[in-house]
A = this chain, B = another copy of it.
Amino acid sequence: MEKYSIAIIEDHTLLSEAIAEVINKFDLFKVDFLCKNGAELIETLKTKSAPKIILMDVNMPIMNGIETTKWLSENYPDVYVIALTVEEDESTILKMIRAGAKGYLLKDVDKKTLEIALIKTIETGFYHSNIVVDVLVNSITGKSNTKEALKDTEIEFLKLLCSEMTYKEIANKMNLSPKTIDGYRDNLFVKLDVKNRIGLVIYAIKNKIFTC
């Protein structure tokens, strides 16, 4: 019987190579190829046929897991994307699910669980560990949703805040009037319940909008 093909998208070479070895020992699966980021995946798919399942890291340089998953949902809707990552914060999980991930596994699962997840995904179309279910439940019961309301410009703005630029310089870089920037800031003060720029910077770092 033909084994199901799998691709691993993960920037840490050793980890992806090692996981590949593990998967190749499973009866039903074999690893087809590895990529270091989303851009590389897109390149690869020009010459190779798509795998059945893609194991996707979330934090990658160049093109991260969320963007890549979104791209796959549009261009290869039949491919099952399973997130495999250390990020267990609510917003990351929600973003991946929204982007179209069919599963979400933390890197501290064991081999057996990984195999079960792969099999369930083939059989039923999805597999989610308990953490994810928790988050989803919280999310609809309204608890702690918050952050989701941030717009793209606000995200961009928050990133620029985490530098030594003044507001005037940031306005310049974003091609907006300093006054508009003032508005962005004041909105975020209210929305995120902080009092000054330092609060915004800490928020951005805490929520991985900006990574040091």
Contacts and interface: CB of A to CB of B under 8 A. Distances in A.
A109 B18 CA distance: 11
Given A164-B199, A201-B201, A205-B212, A19 B14 contact: yes
A111 interface: yes
A11 interface: yes
A133 to B, nearest CB: 20
Contacts of A74: none
Contacts of A155: none
A202 interface: yes
Given A202-B201, A212-B202, A15 B107 contact: yes
A148 interface: no
A198 B162 contact: yes
A106 B13 CA distance: 10
B13 A108 contact: yes
A40 interface: no
Contacts of A17: 22, 110-111
A104 to B, nearest CB: 14
16 contacts: A12-B107, A14-B108, A14-B109, A14-B111, A15-B18, A21-B25, A161-B198, A162-B198, A164-B194, A164-B196, A164-B198, A197-B198, A202-B212, A205-B205, A205-B212, A206-B212
The 8 closest A-B pairs by CB, nearest first: A18-B18, A12-B107, A12-B108, A206-B212, A21-B21, A164-B195, A13-B110, A164-B199
